[in-house]
């Protein structure tokens, strides 16, 4: 089925999934990222649709975007797909037959095929259609040598349906995309966790720490402070890994945490609390103005009180993208002034609602008091 001399696929657009209601931010962000690669274009998106498209003005710019965009730097996108033009008239009698030539035109085999929809209530019915349609399609793709499941390094094929006859086909690249269908991680809620918030920290750790790093950095003997800890879902994630936690909150903590012997409950203001000695981790889920939390986190690194942090920024209803950039800028500026070097990432996690989660870690040696002017790592976003 694959033509012997298939031309390299040149995407005509980017397709990005996002949480419904965050299309504007997703569009602002991808526009900025493409501008950074000197590619201008237009965002197409509808409020509440759960996805946006970015169409470059220069039809030949798709390959440049595929080479230059990094999914890990995108905050609001759940998935980054390099897309072919929409197919709007799939015949109900033979959808597979109609799709195969379009899929072969990508000029590659795929390691996986995902039939996807937007993460909206309206699209739920289509999910059933996708589940039914997947087996015959996979069968046909395998027969045509277009699907070689599990083969390392092959791109994923996405078929994004907005109706049973309207689909956008595209590819995502392993290592530069979400590894989850629809960009939605499947993490089950641990039955004994004190709160649903525990899912946010679980997802953040899963996203930013590969398993070996998780074991190395969050282990018996590691120390953490949890600001705004009650009732204790984030503390619970740390304690189950053997980490000793100081849980700061005026509210009550779940009793199951206190009996572990690993948790000290401090009733104090999280903005004023300082550790007696530096800790490995500071996590923070206080509901407060995002800039206050961002400055607090920046202070913890500048003061040498922690080397890793995961924290939540509750975003305002309006200008969410701008507010996030303001917070990012304030943190970088604080670190530049203090001469510390940190990397900083943000993600609008699946378990986040009107908020984003940040991960910062110090990349210079906090034991050495160095006053560097270079903030090379900060510039890496
Ligand atoms: C969203 S809840 C945290 C949930 C927690 N991460 C969990 O998983 O169970 C926010 C918490 O922040 C606490 N909080 C808000 N402002 C605070 C402050 N200035 N100092 C300490 N705690 C604060 C509240 O009391 C509340 O318990």
pLDDT digits over 265-281, tens only? Answer: 999 999 999 999 999 99
Active site residue 64: no
Tell me the pLDDT tens digit for each residue of 57-90: 999 999 999 999 999 999 999 999 999 999 999 9
Write out the chain in H/E/C secondary structure. Answer: CCCCCCCCCCCCEEEEECCCCCHHHHHHHHHHHHHHCCCCEEEEECCCCCEEEEEECCHHHHHHHHHHCCHHHCCCCCEEEEECCCECCCCCCCHHHHHHHHHHCCCCCECEEEEECCCCCCCHHHHHHHHHHHHHHHHHHHHCCCECCCCCCCCEEEEEEEECCEEEEEEECCCCCCCCHHHCCCCCCCCCCCCCCHHHHHHHHHHHCCHHHHHHHCCCCCEEEEECCCCCHHHHHHHCCCCEEEEECCCCCCHHHHCCCCEEEECCCCCCCCCCCCCCEEEECCCCCHHHHHHHHHHHHHCCCCCEEEEEEECCCCCHHHHHHHHHHHHHHHHHHHCCCEEEEEECCCCCCCEEEEEEEECCCCCCCCCCCCCHHHHCC
Is residue 4's pLDDT more than 60? no
Q: What is the mean pLDDT of the chain?
A: 93
Tell me the pLDDT tens digit for each residue of 183-212: 999 888 888 899 999 999 999 999 999 999
Measured in Å, residue 88 CA sits from the centre of ligand 1 at: 48
Q: Whose CA is nearest to atom 16 of ligand 1?
A: 286
Is residue 297's pLDDT more than 90? yes
Domain ranges of the chain: 13-183, 198-379
Residue 370 vs residue 185, higher pLDDT: 185
Binding-site residues, ligand 1, Cβ < 6 A: 194-195, 197-198, 228-234, 248-251, 269-271, 285-288
Task: Please report which confidence band the pLDDT of residue 7 belongs to, taking 50, 70 and 90 as the band edges.
Answer: low
Measured in Å, residue 284 CA sits from the centre of ligand 1 at: 8
Task: Please report which confidence band the pLDDT of residue 381 belongs to, taking 50, 70 and 90 as the band edges.
Answer: very low
Task: Please report which confidence band the pLDDT of residue 6 belongs to, taking 50, 70 and 90 as the band edges.
Answer: very low
Segment 41-50 mean pLDDT: 97
Q: Whose CA is nearest to atom 27 of ligand 1?
A: 230
Pocket probe mutation, ligand 1, options 237, 249, 296, max atoms within 8 Å of Cβ: 249
Is residue 235's pLDDT more than 90? yes
Tell me the pLDDT tens digit for each residue of 138-183: 999 999 999 999 899 999 999 999 999 999 999 999 999 999 999 9
Measured in Å, residue 197 CA sits from the centre of ligand 1 at: 11
Segment 41-51 mean pLDDT: 97
Q: pLDDT above 90 covers what percent of the chain?
A: 89
Q: Whose CA is nearest to atom 15 of ligand 1?
A: 286
Atom of ligand 1 minimally distant from the CA of 288: 16
Segment 305-311 mean pLDDT: 98
Among the listed residues 314, 318, 319, 347, the single catalytic one is 314
Atom of ligand 1 minimally distant from the CA of 234: 8
Q: Which CATH architecture has domain 198-379?
A: 3-Layer(aba) Sandwich (3.40)
Task: Please report which confidence band the pLDDT of residue 307 belongs to, taking 50, 70 and 90 as the band edges.
Answer: very high
Task: Please report which confidence band the pLDDT of residue 372 belongs to, taking 50, 70 and 90 as the band edges.
Answer: very low
Q: Just give the CATH number of 13-183.
A: 3.30.2300.20
Q: Whose CA is nearest to atom 23 of ligand 1?
A: 228
């Amino acid at each position: 089925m694959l033509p012997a001399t298939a031309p390299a696929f040149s995407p005509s657009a980017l397709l990005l999934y996002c949480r419904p209601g965050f299309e504007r931010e997703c569009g602002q962000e991808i526009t900025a990222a493409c501008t950074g690669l000197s590619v201008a274009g237009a965002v197409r998106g509808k409020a509440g649709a759960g996805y946006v498209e970015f169409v470059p003005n220069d039809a030949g710019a798709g390959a440049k975007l595929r080479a230059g965009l990094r999914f890990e730097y995108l905050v609001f996108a759940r998935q980054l797909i390099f897309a072919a033009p929409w197919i709007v008239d799939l015949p109900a009698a033979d959808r597979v037959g109609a799709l195969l030539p379009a899929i072969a035109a990508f000029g590659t085999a795929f390691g996986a095929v995902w039939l996807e929809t937007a993460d909206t209530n309206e699209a739920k019915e289509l999910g059933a259609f996708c589940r039914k349609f997947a087996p015959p399609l996979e069968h046909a793709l395998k027969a045509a040598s277009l699907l070689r499941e599990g083969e390392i390094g092959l791109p994923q094929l996405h078929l994004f349906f907005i109706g049973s006859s309207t689909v956008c086909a595209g590819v995502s690249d392993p290592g530069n995309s979400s590894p989850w269908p629809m960009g939605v991680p499947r993490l089950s809620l641990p039955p004994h966790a004190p709160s649903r918030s525990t899912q946010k920290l679980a997802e953040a750790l899963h996203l930013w720490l590969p398993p070996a790093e998780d074991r190395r950095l969050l282990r018996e003997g590691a120390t953490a402070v949890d600001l705004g800890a009650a009732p204790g879902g984030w503390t619970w994630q740390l304690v189950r890994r053997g980490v000793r936690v100081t849980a700061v909150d005026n509210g009550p903590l779940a009793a199951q945490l206190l009996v572990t012997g690993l948790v000290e409950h401090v009733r104090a203001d999280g903005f004023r609390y300082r550790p007696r000695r530096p800790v490995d981790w500071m996590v923070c889920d206080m509901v407060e103005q995002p800039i206050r939390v961002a400055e607090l986190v920046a202070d913890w690194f500048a003061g040498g009180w922690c080397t890793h942090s995961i924290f939540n920024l509750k975003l305002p209803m309006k200008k969410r993208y701008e507010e996030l950039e303001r917070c990012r800028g304030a943190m970088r500026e604080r670190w530049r002034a203090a001469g510390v070097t940190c990397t900083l990432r943000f993600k609008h996690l699946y378990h986040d609602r009107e908020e984003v989660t940040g991960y910062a870690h110090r990349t210079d040696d906090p034991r050495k008091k160095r006053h560097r002017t270079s903030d090379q790592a900060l510039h890496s976003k």
